[in-house]
Structure 1
Amino acid sequence: MDYEIRVVRPEEWPAVKELRLAALLDPVAPLAFLETYEQALARPDVFWQDRAAGASHGMAARQFVAVGSDGVWAGTVVVLVEDEGAVDFFGEVVEERQAQLVGVFVRPEARGRGVTEALFSAAVEWALGVDGVARVRLHVHEDNARAAGFYRKFGFVRSGGAVPNPGDPSKVDHEMVLRVG
């Protein structure tokens, strides 16, 4: 199946919600996401409307989706632009303008078909085109070997930074940065 990789549109908030709920049902969701299925399900429609609208344009965030020829969304990645001096969602002060990839999910039936690579390529290209973005990073839970393996294959390397996992402070999320050039 062919996939179109593109940015979400504001009116597609129901699909944004559906894909996020599907992601939160994945067996590795507790390692990969900072919210539960129940928390996301309880959010009002206006939350999803704002989320889709905010990630569809502007320079603070962008959500990319892989849309199959059948119209089904196969996967997603979100790019957050973090400005110097801002505090990221782990509570750390950002030292230079950078982009962080979050919310990565590809449906099981679409894995191994190049969807994740295509999503990451689009996300990284956009991120590096944002004025002043010096690097692209992400965080991966120490027990999420599947994700870490893909990130390494794509060109991310551990920076040496790590933060306690918000859901289980006895575990860490390792920072990985993209080798550029």
Structure 2
Amino acid sequence: MTAAFLIRSPDEEDWREVRDLRLEMLADTPIAYLETLAAARKHDEAYWRRRARPRGDGSISVVAVHEDGRWIGTMAGVPGATGPVLVGVYVAPGYRGRRAGVTDALLGAVEDWARRFSDVLRLEVNELNTRARAAYEARGFVLTGATSPYPLDPPSLELEMIKRL
């Protein structure tokens, strides 16, 4: 099954969709993000409008919008101290996996952006998020051996992974 969807960047007028997808992400996989669902629910419209518009720091944000208008995924790339970093990764249940094509399309857009800065794309994944780690490995990411404490649950670790572009 290949889903019919469009990959595009959000803008300020998409603030409601940005908010709704973020809340969905945090409810679905809380260990994947550096924000809690409770904290995100407290943000006002002005916050979501700022989050939706382009940041102006060289980063990229892309979303997958199903042909029926539902937002089904998102990824972002931000400049990091050692090069581009993949962040904010989410694909809705029912659209995950190679057959749907959503993950690969979103990742392709971020990889195209990252190639402008480096031949390596980095990410961090929580050690307990085995589904995400497997998806990254299937797409060419490898563990570097570097770890850091996960700020919202310090006993668990964030594992650094890289992909050569």
Q: Secondary structure at the match of 1:117?
A: helix
1:41 maps to a residue whose letter is R
TM-score scaled by length of structure 1: 0.84
Residue 136 of structure 1 pairs with residue 116 of structure 2: no
Q: Percent identity?
A: 39
Could you tell me how far apart the structure 1 residues matched to 2:10 and 2:77 are? Answer: 12
Contact 2:11 2:54 in 1 (8 A): no
**Equivalent in 145, 148, 152 of residue 160 of structure 1:** 145
Could you tell me how far apart the structure 1 residues matched to 2:25 and 2:153 are? Answer: 19
Could you tell me how far apart the structure 2 residues matched to 1:171 and 1:142 are? Answer: 7
The residue that corresponds to 1:79 in the other structure is 77
TM-score scaled by length of structure 2: 0.91
1:42 maps to a residue whose letter is K
Could you tell me how far apart the structure 2 residues matched to 1:107 and 1:52 are? Answer: 19
**Equivalent in 10, 14, 17 of residue 15 of structure 1:** 17
Q: CA deviation at 1:20?
A: 0.2
**Equivalent in 51, 59, 62 of residue 61 of structure 1:** 59
Q: Which runs of 5+ in 1 are unaligned?
A: 83-93
- Following TM superposition, the consecutive aligned residue runs of length 4 or more in structure 1 with deviations greater than 4 angstroms are none
User: Number of residues paired by the alignment?
Assistant: 161
Q: CA deviation at 1:134?
A: 4.9
Q: CA deviation at 1:142?
A: 0.7
**Equivalent in 95, 102, 107 of residue 120 of structure 1:** 107
**Equivalent in 122, 132, 152 of residue 147 of structure 1:** 132
Mapping for residues 101-112 of structure 1, pairs under 5 Å: 101-112=86-97
Q: Secondary structure at the match of 2:34?
A: coil
Could you tell me how far apart the structure 1 residues matched to 2:33 and 2:148 are? Answer: 14
Q: Which runs of 5+ in 2 are unaligned?
A: none
Could you tell me how far apart the structure 2 residues matched to 1:65 and 1:22 are? Answer: 14
